[in-house]
A and B are shown apart, each in its own frame.
Chain A
């Protein structure tokens, strides 16, 4: 008979499921996914911090979380069962809207993890531990309400939208009916997690719109056009690897959660270290999307495909699917920068890793010398994919570096 799973394995099994559910739940666009990851990681962290000695609650550090999600630290609980309870409650709530396969998989995971944990501790301890985990998750879910991101309608696309007037502004680029309005135009006003608010990491703007051939804006668009025209196989592979399309991948936030899980395994992290890391990455990425979206809808810049068709080559198309929202800054760049900043602060700048996030989709893994190398590659992949100008990438990464600092500075150890 196999040994009951340790707490780290419980965490890993649930996160594997979560990464699949993010892909297979239609409302899980990247910002929505980032939010769910952040609250789930907080529930996991708070459960762990209440049980494992040497860790402290994030109450007072995360916006709106004024008190710890329990009255007092519990005694004599089993961390594996408690995490199982916390994740069951969190995942069931965040993925209540997933389809029949997701619901079936969720029930199966609950049943199988419960069965595998059975007998590892007394029934009383098991029940009290799971109940505690569930109660922490319930408090976190209550905290999540009212942050501005709880209700997603129409898959995140407003029912109607009037584009701003002016040639510089975003216009729909998709022929999908729903996507004639941009995704989640108010996401930038959501409550942030660790950073003070969505405007806490301002960046300078993109070059001014111009169709003059010697203008910086034209040159940036031409760079996209020329790069795409002369894509090397390696550049094409990079674009594809970081494409992270919603509903076809775990999304960009899920990609970084996947990296974190892979690094945890590679470094034999304890469950406590892993929970700490997941919390920081998730919060950084979630704050990154809020910060990025705030700027996106202030600047409201047109996508390369619109400009290039208008000014350079009417037959041009981007190799990647152009996302249905304004261009500046690049969301993947901001959130990758945020993830890299916080991971580098936590683990150091020499953590080499192999990223096999897309192995099941048949994409070969890629190796990185450190987190920033991965983040920079994620950023430039958007230029190779023809969906971002260079300024959006450079400034997005810069914004992410600032955002990630807040998550990195969270005090978790007593």
Chain B
């Protein structure tokens, strides 16, 4: 399937995809499903507003850490009943730090308890998961130098042979440069393992920094060694552009150059999401921005070899993904995009695109009433706006988000963090959605959750594929089940290409279930509690 053209893929889809007219319905849960939380603060919290969603009490339901900005962060435990209304309960987790911009879950020490990396204006903090959604500061234990910057982006990978993750931190503007903040992007950092120790080495400065608001380790050419993609905010850099760093084990990271095929692109980079949206066997990237959004696909995919040139073309306009202005209401000024995620929200076997929207603050040339986008992929590969019809298109000053199956009903729900306004929780109540399947991945030893794996799901000969990532979005991370829609099919085949390139076998699984896929073993069904 790797080299099937988009149009051929579309023809194949025509015979297998589920709904001719993609539909989805979200219900805005009353009282935000029990959550009272705003992302607060002024200038230093203009960006940020993240949520980390992951299960920390072993009931498979994602619990959430919510960055508070200037105020305290909060933790909420997921008390939703399976298939029921969404419900969260405030919980003292020990991670309620102030000055947080966002957070990402990751099991750093491979103890089976999810840890948390909290990005802050000031010192970043790694919190060790103690179980039952309790956390304790671990900067000293793991020799993690939290620095003192305005941190706005995170990505993690496990370099080949490492028993500790490599964590990249993206940093924003020099806070001291009040009257001329432009061109003051501070260094990004790469926290690599300290040899074979279960701790971090002194962070490496990634220069030049161009003020990233989203970064992602992604194996763009499926080489087995992920590279570091950075989406940078052109408002603040000078001489900058988007970046892709080669991060090879034991070597200094180096940037891909134009001679290697990297294309000069300058946007207000706010968020990254990836998924193979054109069935070429490689990830495509949604990049959220202001007054425009990009959908990047590799320009050249060799027939019998892996791509060598990271040359991307923007197919957002062609596929209806620019989402450049509000699609409803009378405020038609250009939009401002933040968190973006790619999930199949109606389970038709076609991944859809979510973009959180919201004015920076009160920029008068941009929409103040800026509804969120829910771009539904159709059988022709084009995306159609369903924010309004689905109920998710409310207008707030939105920032981060998590799109996960919070009540384990097989439908992807959404939680959105808003600046100065309460969190919104949307339950997916679609009644005509297709079948689905969700996977948790497991490796022995380090990188327990198989970050960097490539997950393929085959339905009626058609392959859907995505990366297991830790990073991207807008200062929001999620880790749990990887979800796929199957359309009308009652079964699917799944194959995992494990981090660093070892492909497992295709395995058949029944639809509408949760599975654990352990490396070297057949998928096993998980029974989730009610």
State whether A26 touches B290 (Cβ < 8 A): yes
Residues of B within 8 A of A178 (CB): 291-292, 324-325, 334
Cβ < 8 Å to B, chain A residues 1-60 = 17, 20, 23-24, 26-27
What is the total number of residues of chain B having a CB less than 8 Å from a CB of chain A?
A: 35
Interface residues of A in 86-105 (CB under 8 A from B): 96-97, 99-101, 104-105
Does the CB pair B179–A99 fall under 8 Å?
no
A118 proximal to B (CB < 8 A): no
A104 touches B180 (CB 8 A): no
CB of B183 within 8 A of chain A? yes
Check if B206 is an interface residue, CB within 8 A of chain A.
no
- B300-339 with Cβ < 8 A to chain A: 314, 316-318, 322-325, 332-334
Q: Which residue of B lies closest to A176 (CB)?
A: B292
A75 contacts the other chain (CB 8 A): no
Contact of A155 among B238, B314, B323, B365 (CB under 8 A): B365
Q: A26-B365, A97-B364, A99-B235 are in contact. Are A176 and B291 (CB under 8 A)?
A: yes
Q: Assess whether B325 is in contact with A27, with CB atoms less than 8 Å apart.
A: no
Cβ–Cβ < 8 Å partners of B325 in chain A: 154, 177-178
**B212-256 to A contact mask, C-beta < 8 Å, 1/0:** 000000000000000000000011101100000000000000000
A233: interface (CB < 8 Å): no
Q: Are B365 and A248 in contact (CB under 8 A)?
A: no
Task: Choose among B181, B183, B234, B366 the residue that contacts A247 (Cβ–Cβ < 8 A).
Answer: B234
Q: Are A101 and B182 in contact, CB atoms less than 8 angstroms apart?
A: yes
The verdict on A159 contacting B332 (CB below 8 Å), with A99-B363, A105-B180, A362-B239 known, is: yes
Interchain CB contact under 8 A, A97 and B363: yes
Interface check A109, CB cutoff 8 A: yes
Chain A residues lying within 8 Å of B43, measured Cβ to Cβ, are: 100-101, 104
Given A24-B235, A175-B318, the answer on whether A101 and B181 have CB atoms closer than 8 Å is yes
CB pair A97–B238 under 8 Å, yes or no, is: no
Query: Contact flags (1/0) for B42-65 with A, using CB distance below 8 Å?
Result: 010010000000000000000000
* Cβ–Cβ < 8 Å partners of A108 in chain B: 178-179
Q: Say yes or no: A360 contacts B183, CB within 8 Å.
A: yes
Question: Is B82 interfacial (CB 8 A cutoff)?
Answer: no
Closest chain B CB from A317 CB (angstroms): 10
0/1 string, B168-211, CB within 8 A of A gives 1 = 00000100001111110000000000000000000000000000
Give the chain A neighbours of B236 by CB distance below 8 A: 101
**Residue pair B365, A361 in contact (C-beta under 8 Å):** no
Q: Which of B236, B239, B266, B290 has the most CB of A within 10 A?
A: B239
Complex Cα–Cα for A360 and B183 (A) = 7
Q: Is B361 an interface residue (CB 8 A)?
A: yes
The answer to the question of B360 belonging to the interface, with a C-beta cut-off of 8 Å to chain A, is: yes
Within 8 A of B (CB), among A186-206: none
Docked-complex contact B239 and A363, CB < 8 angstroms: yes
Chain B residue at minimal CB-CB distance from A111: B179
Contact flags A140-181 to B (C-beta < 8 A → 1, else 0): 000000000000111100010000000000000001111000
Tell me how far the C-beta of A250 lies from the nearest C-beta in chain B, rounded to whole angstroms. 11
B365 contact from A17, A23, A27, A177, Cβ within 8 A: A27
A338 to B112, CA, bound (A): 69
Query: Are the C-beta atoms of A362 and B365 separated by less than 8 Å?
Result: no
Please pick, from B181, B266, B322, the residue contacting A177 in the complex, using a CB distance under 8 A.
Answer: B322
**Which one of A97, A105, A248 lies within 8 Å of B178 (CB-CB)?**
A105
Question: Once the chains bind, are A154 and B334 in contact (CB under 8 Å)?
Answer: yes
Decide: A112 and B291 in contact? CB cutoff 8 A.
no
CA distance A331 to B474 in the complex (A): 38
**Chain B residues, Cβ within 8 Å of A152:** 365
When the two chains form their complex, are residues B291 and A20 in contact, meaning their CB atoms are under 8 A apart? Answer: no
Instruction: List B contacts of A97 (CB < 8 A).
Output: 363-365
Q: Which residues of B contact A159 (CB under 8 A)?
A: 332
Contacts of B292 in A (CB 8 A): 176-178
CB within 8 A of B238: which of A109, A175, A362? Answer: A362
Docked-complex contact A248 and B234, CB < 8 angstroms = yes
Q: B365–A112 contact, CB under 8 A?
A: no
Once bound together, how far apart are the Cα atoms of A108 and B182, in whole Å? 14
CA distance in complex: A154, B291 (Å): 10
Q: Is the CB of A105 within 8 A of B181?
A: yes
Nearest-CB residue, chain A, relative to B266: A248
Structural contact, A20 and B317, CB atoms closer than 8 A: no
Bound together, the chains give a CA A361 to CA B183 distance in angstroms of 8
Distance of A248 Cα from B316 Cα, bound (Å): 22
Set of chain A residues within 8 Å of B318, measured between Cβ atoms:
175
Assuming the contacts A97-B364, A100-B361, A104-B43, asked whether A175 and B181 have C-beta atoms less than 8 A apart, the reply is no
Q: Is the CB of B322 within 8 A of A176?
A: yes
Q: Distance in Å from the Cβ of A361 to the closest Cβ of chain B? A: 4
| Chain A residues positioned under 8 Å from B235 (CB to CB) | 24, 99, 101
**Chain B residue with the shortest CB-CB distance to A20:** B182
Q: Which residue numbers of A lie inside 8 Å of B, CB to CB? A: 17, 20, 23-24, 26-27, 96-97, 99-101, 104-105, 108-109, 112, 152-155, 159, 175-178, 247-248, 360-363
A-B complex: 10 closest residue pairs judged by Cβ atoms: A108-B179, A177-B324, A177-B322, A362-B239, A175-B317, A361-B239, A360-B238, A361-B238, A108-B178, A176-B292
Query: What are 18 residue pairs bridging A and B, where the CB atoms are less than 8 Å apart in the complex?
Result: A17-B179, A20-B182, A26-B290, A97-B365, A99-B360, A100-B363, A101-B182, A101-B235, A104-B181, A105-B181, A152-B365, A154-B332, A154-B333, A177-B317, A178-B291, A178-B292, A360-B238, A361-B239
A26-B290, A99-B235, A177-B317 given. 10 additional CB < 8 A pairs?
A17-B179, A23-B182, A26-B363, A101-B181, A101-B235, A105-B180, A152-B365, A155-B291, A155-B334, A362-B238
